[in-house]
Amino acid sequence: MPVQRIVAVDDEDSILKIVRYALEQEGFEVHTATDAAGGAFQFEQVRPDLLILDVTLPGRSGLDLARDIRQTSNVPIIILSARGDEVDRILGLEFGADDYVTKPFSPRELVSRVKAILRRVGQGAVERSRIEIGDLVMDRESRQVSMRGAPVHLTTSEYGFLQLLAQHPGKAFSRADIIRALWDESPAGSERAIDVHAHNMREKLESDPKNPEYLLTVRGFGYRLREE
């Protein structure tokens, strides 16, 4: 199996050293940058399997970089943010991040998050089934999603969210069920994050996101995908 590459962007050298050491101990190839421009350069040069972006960077923020990268790539992104800064974390998800880790963080926790996201990517690559629900099509061999014949670009976590529901159309999943599926019961996988992902997915999937036909809310509980 080829070595998986990670780009980490943070303006604190001490943080980058911790991230590099923790991930290299697990066999990852790690490239670093201290600002958004350097992160963009590393992304283009390395074409990583995953990005770790701090929110607060000199010049352009990590959120700006995440938004730019999402224009052309679905590479998994983990956002780093200061503890208690809920606004930055939610903005990170809205800008296309798959997960977030709060500072100060445990290197073991970060490694666990990285592995969980990359594991989901790998699992999707070996599944060879196709799901069709109305105009929604999921090809899990290629990890392609289309709606009414047009491609839909989902982040890794959005894809995992949709796949969970699509495997059991009509079944209601609680927010806690979805958190466990996406983040291995990570405490950072808050219910608010699930709602943000659902909002973003509706913007991509639904003709009228305010009156969804596919991704349906189960009031006071969670979400379900419509049945055929």
Q: What is the mean pLDDT of residues 20-42?
A: 94
pLDDT at 179 over 80: yes
Give the pLDDT band (50/70/90) at residue 184.
low
Comparison of pLDDT for 146 and 177, the residue scoring more: 146
pLDDT at position 90 = 77
pLDDT at position 99 = 87
Comparison of pLDDT for 163 and 9, the residue scoring more: 9
pLDDT at position 130 = 79
> Which residues make beta-bridge pairs with 135?
none
Comparison of pLDDT for 86 and 20, the residue scoring more: 20
pLDDT at 87 over 80: no
Eight-state DSSP code of residue 64: H
pLDDT at position 34 = 95
CB atoms within 10 A of CB 96: 25
The 8 Å CB, 24+ separation contacts for 22-27 are 22/107, 22/108, 22/110, 22/111, 23/110, 23/111, 23/114, 26/111, 26/115, 27/3
> Strand pairing of 29-33 and 5-9?
parallel
CA dist list (Å): 33 to 8, 10, 197, 215: 6, 7, 28, 38
pLDDT at 23 over 90: yes
pLDDT digits (tens, 9 = 90+) for 188-200: 557 788 899 999 9
Position 139: which residue type? D
Residue with tokens 């970060």: 110
Cis peptide before 104 (omega within 30 of 0): yes
Phi-psi category of 18—alpha, beta or left, where left has phi over 0 and alpha has psi -120 to 50?
A: alpha
Query: What domains are there in the chain, each with its CATH number?
Result: 5-122 (3.40.50.2300), 127-225 (1.10.10.10)
pLDDT digits (tens, 9 = 90+) for 114-154: 998 888 776 544 444 678 898 999 987 778 899 998 999 99
Return the H-helix or E-strand segment holding 17. Answer: helix 13-24
Residue with tokens 């997915």: 201
